[in-house]
Structure 1
Amino acid sequence: MRDWLIGLGVAVACLLASWALLVLLARRLPPGILRDLAAFIPDCLTTVRRLRRDPRVPRRAKVAIVFAGLWLASPIDLIPEFLPVIGPLDDIVVVALALRYAGRQVPRQVLLDAWPGEPRLLLRLLGPAPAAGPGVEEPTR
C-alpha cells in the first residue's frame, strides 16, 4: 500500500510540475506558436472555470466543459504527461472537442468573454461563425 501511495504522489508531482512548466513557458516565451501552445491548457482551465459558473451556458454545454476540466485535472491520461511535447496532446484534443461542442451551444461572445488568451486562437478553434438568420444579430468582437 505504501508503494502505491508513493507512486501516486510521484504521478501528481509530475503532473503539477508539467503544468507549472506550461505556465512558465506561456509567460516567458516570445510571441509565436510555441507560446500559444504553452498557454493553451492554462487558458482552457480558466475558461472552463468561468463557463461553469455562467448562467447563459446551457446544461449540456456545462457537462461537456466540466468533463474537459476533469480530464485536464486527471492524472490518468492516454499519453503520459511526462513525455516532452506530446504529453499534453490528449488534453488539448479533449478540450478542443469540448470547446467546439460548447461553441455550437453557447453564443460566441460568451465564449470570447470567458477566454483569457488570444481571441484569435479560440476563433480558429471554433471555426467560422454560423450564418445569422433574419433578425439575428452577429455578436460583437
Structure 2
Amino acid sequence: MAKETAAFQLIKSKAKLLKREAFVLYFAYKDHRVTWYAKLFAICVVAYAFSPIDLIPDFIPILGYLDDIILVPLGIWLALKLIPEEVISDCRAKAQELIAKGKPKNWVAGILFILIWILFGIWLSWYLYKLLLT
C-alpha cells in the first residue's frame, strides 16, 4: 500500500511539473527573444496540452492516454530545446508566480480552442466525404 501511495505521489509531482512547463512555453511564446519557429511549435504544444480535445480520445483503452503520457511531454521537451536557456529561466519564474496565485480561467481562449477543433472536424469530414464520392 505504501508503494502505491509513493508511486501516486511521484506521478502527481510529474504532472505538476508538466503543467508548469506548459505555462513556461506559454510565457516563452510571448517573449521577443524566441525565434518564430520556436514560438509556433511552443504555442501548438500549449494549445494541445490545454485543449479539452485529444488526438486519441481517452475512452479508448490504453491508447487513449498515450497522447497524454507520451505526446505532451515529448512536445514540451522539444519546444524547450528550441528556446534559449535565459528565456526559459525567466519564464519559469513567471510560471511559478502564476501557479502560486492560482491560474486564471480564460473562457474566451477555451471557446476558441473548441471552435478550432469543431471547424477542423467539419473540414476533415467534408474532405473525406468528397474523397469518398469521387
Q: Smaller-chain TM-score range? A: 0.3 to 0.5
Which has the higher Rg, Structure 1 or Structure 2? Answer: 2
Higher helix share: 2
TM-score normalised to the size of structure 1?
A: 0.46
TM-score normalised to the size of structure 2?
A: 0.48
